[in-house]
Structures are given as C-alpha cells and as structure tokens.
C-alpha cells in the first residue's frame, strides 16, 4: 500500500466516522464537533486531490464560520441534549427511512461501479498533477470569466439571506421587553383597580 | 494512485449518512447539519471530477455551493431561533402547525 492510498483510507474513514457520530450524538454541541472532525478529514481529501485552495476555504469558511454559527445558536438556546429527541415513530416508518437511505446509497454506488461515468472511471486522481491545478489563479480566472454571472448572482443571494435572517429572527413588537414608563402605567392601573 | 471511484464512493457514503440524519434525527439543528454534510459530499464529488477531467470548473461550482450553504445556514438558524422562542423546543415533531 502506497502512502497515497494510506492517506486516502485514513482520511476517508475519519470523515465517515465523524459523520456517523454526528447523527447519533444526543448532545448537539458534540454533533457540531464531530462534523468539524469530518470536515477536516474531507479537507485532507481535497489536498490529496491537489485543490489546496478549496481545502483552505473548506476549513476556514465551513469549520471556522458556518459551524461556529451553529455552535453560537446552540449555546444561545442553551441546548444540552437533556430533551428526549429519540425517534418515536412507528417501526414500519422507521424501517422505511433506513430502507430509502440505503436504496439511495446503493443507487449512487451502482452508478459509480457500472461504468456510467465512462472512461473517467479508470483514472487515478492523486499523485502528480499539473502545477497550476487548484491554484488561486486558476479558480479566479474561471470564476471571473466563464462563471461571472453566477458569481455576481451569489451576491444577490447573500443579500437576500442577510435580510431574511434579520427579518425572521426579529422579535415581534408585542413581545419586546416592556419599558419603564409602561411598568409605571400598569402599576397605576392596578392601584385604580385595587 | 487512488482511482476516482473510491472518492465517489466516499461521497456516496457521506451523502447516505446525511440522508439518514435528516430522516431519523428529531433535533432540528442536527438535521441542518446533515444537510450541510450532504452539500459537502456533493462538493467532494465535484472536486474529484474536476481533478480527473483536469478542468477548473468543478472548483468554481464548489465555491458557489459553499455560498449557498452559508446563506442556507444563516436563514435556517434564524428560523430555529424563532421557532424555539415560540415553542421552547427543537423537536421537529412539535412543528406541525402548517400541516394540512
């Protein structure tokens, strides 16, 4: 077994292990940490494929920003996994869930194995690669020429996401904490009533 | 040399785990993380094909997918906060008030 293969198998196993632990954990904080483990292993796979820049982006943006946002929300809501969230659906529907996901996986696996992807299937993807592959320059050139419009459209998407997040998470007017003058008004009203 | 099929298999396994997570988890936040995992599995496959075909396009797609994932996480977590404020729970079974 060459070093290539060893690195691949170790990081693939760590990625799958992290993902599995993520969905079986009770405590959401532990889930987030296992997902970070899985993402770092996937970043190793990216590096092995020669896309160093995307590996850095994966670690910085995903593990560093998106998952910290998840942690932030979990800690804001003070979730410690004490609530019983076990799957209490019917045994038949539970079986169907596993069956459907298994079927999906088998379908994907057959698509890979049966040569549907053509002559690409036989190619090795690690080892030597052209120097420019995966460089920032190469990604920038393709992103700002061929895919300029999709790239610009993502800015609209992000703007919509910002506005949406602010609007959705905003408190309604009537559950704002009551102000001091309102407290005074209410105590006067109570006195009058009393 | 590791053949591309192994990378695609890892992508398929991670996607399958993501689907299982969405279907069996009752915790809304873990469901969101499973969706992120599925997006990542797709990213891995895109990168593997970009490498096998020696074209940079796959990496540009991954870039766009990351943006979509970030936007989705922001809006989704805002929804989680609002729902938690109203129901004091993250159990997805409790949020069936829009069920017909």
> What are A11-67's pLDDT values in tens digits?
999 999 999 999 988 888 999 999 999 999 999 999 988 888 999 999 999 888 999
| CA dist., res. A67 & res. B54, Å (int) | 31
Would you call B79 an interface residue with chain A, using a CB distance cutoff of 8 Å?
yes
Inter-chain CB proximity A125 and B16 less than 8 Å: no
A170: phi then psi, degrees, rounded to nearest 5: -70, 145
**Smallest CA–CA separation between B28 and chain A, in Å?**
10
The pLDDT of A97-120, averaged and rounded, is 80
Q: What is the pLDDT of residue B46?
A: 93
Q: What is the pLDDT of residue B6?
A: 87
Q: What is the pLDDT of residue A177?
A: 55
| CA dist., res. A101 & res. B16, Å (int) | 6
The pLDDT of A109-124, averaged and rounded, is 72
The pLDDT of A155-167, averaged and rounded, is 93
Would you call A54 an interface residue with chain B, using a CB distance cutoff of 8 Å?
yes
Q: How large a percentage of chain B has pLDDT more than 70?
A: 100
Conformational region of residue A79, where left means phi above 0, alpha means psi within -120 to 50, and beta covers everything else: beta
Q: What is the pLDDT of residue A187?
A: 63
Strand partners, A124: B3
Does residue A155 have a pLDDT over 90? yes
Inter-chain CB proximity B44 and A79 less than 8 Å: no
Please give the residue that has the higher pLDDT: either B99 or A164. A164
Q: Helix A148-169 and helix A136-144: axis angle, to 10°? A: 90
Cα-trace Rg, chain A = 25
Asked whether the ipTM of the predicted complex exceeds the cut of 0.90, the reply is yes
Q: Where are the alpha helices (DSSP H) in A86-171?
A: 91-113, 136-144, 148-169
Q: Please state the pTM of the whole predicted model.
A: 0.85
Q: Encoding tokens for residue B27? A: 């915790």
Strand partners, B91: B27
Q: Where are the alpha helices (DSSP H) in chain A?
A: 3-24, 28-48, 52-57, 67-77, 91-113, 136-144, 148-169, 180-193
Q: Using alpha carbons only, give the angle B93, A30, A109 rounded to the nearest 5 degrees.
A: 75
Would you call B56 an interface residue with chain A, using a CB distance cutoff of 8 Å?
yes
Inter-chain CB proximity B13 and A105 less than 8 Å: yes
Q: How large a percentage of chain A has pLDDT more than 70?
A: 77
Would you call B42 an interface residue with chain A, using a CB distance cutoff of 8 Å?
no
> Buried b / exposed e across B34-55, counting CB within 10 Å, b at 16+?
bbbbbbbbbbbbbbbbbbbeee
Q: What is the pLDDT of residue A183?
A: 61
A130: phi then psi, degrees, rounded to nearest 5: -55, 140
Provide block-wise average pLDDT over 10 residues at a time, chain B (100 residues).
85 92 88 94 92 87 92 92 85 80
> Buried b / exposed e across A129-166, counting CB within 10 Å, b at 16+?
eeeebbbeebbeebbeeebeeebeebeebeeebeeebe
Please give the residue that has the higher pLDDT: either A183 or A35. A35
Q: What is the pLDDT of residue B4?
A: 84
Inter-chain CB proximity B48 and A32 less than 8 Å: no
């Amino acid at each position: 077994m060459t070093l290539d293969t060893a690195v691949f198998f170790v990081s693939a196993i760590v990625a799958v292990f992290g993902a599995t632990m993520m969905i079986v954990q009770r405590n959401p904080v532990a889930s987030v940490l296992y997902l970070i483990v899985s993402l770092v292993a996937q970043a190793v796979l990216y590096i092995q494929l020669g896309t160093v820049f995307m590996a850095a982006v994966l670690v910085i943006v995903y593990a560093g920003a998106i998952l910290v946002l998840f942690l932030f929300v979990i800690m804001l809501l003070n979730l410690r996994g004490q609530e019983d969230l076990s799957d209490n659906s019917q045994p038949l529907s539970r079986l169907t869930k596993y069956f459907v996901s298994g079927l999906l996986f088998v379908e994907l696996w057959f698509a890979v194995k049966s040569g549907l992807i053509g002559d690409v299937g036989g190619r090795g993807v690690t080892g030597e690669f052209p120097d420019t592959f995966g460089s920032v320059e190469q990604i920038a050139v393709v992103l700002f020429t061929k895919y300029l419009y999709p790239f610009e459209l993502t800015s609209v998407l992000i703007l919509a996401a910002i506005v949406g997040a602010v609007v959705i998470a905003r408190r309604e007017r009537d559950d704002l904490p009551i102000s001091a003058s309102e407290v005074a008004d209410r105590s006067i009203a109570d006195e009058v009533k009393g | 040399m590791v053949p591309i099929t192994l990378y695609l298999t890892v992508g398929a396994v991670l996607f399958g785990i993501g689907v299982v997570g969405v279907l069996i988890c009752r915790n809304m936040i873990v469901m969101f993380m499973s969706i992120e995992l599925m997006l990542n599995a797709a990213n891995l496959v895109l990168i593997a094909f970009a490498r096998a075909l020696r074209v940079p396009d796959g990496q540009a797609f991954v870039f766009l997918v990351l943006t979509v994932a970030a936007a989705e996480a922001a809006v989704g977590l805002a929804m989680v906060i609002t729902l938690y404020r109203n129901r004091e729970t993250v159990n997805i079974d409790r949020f069936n008030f829009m069920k017909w």
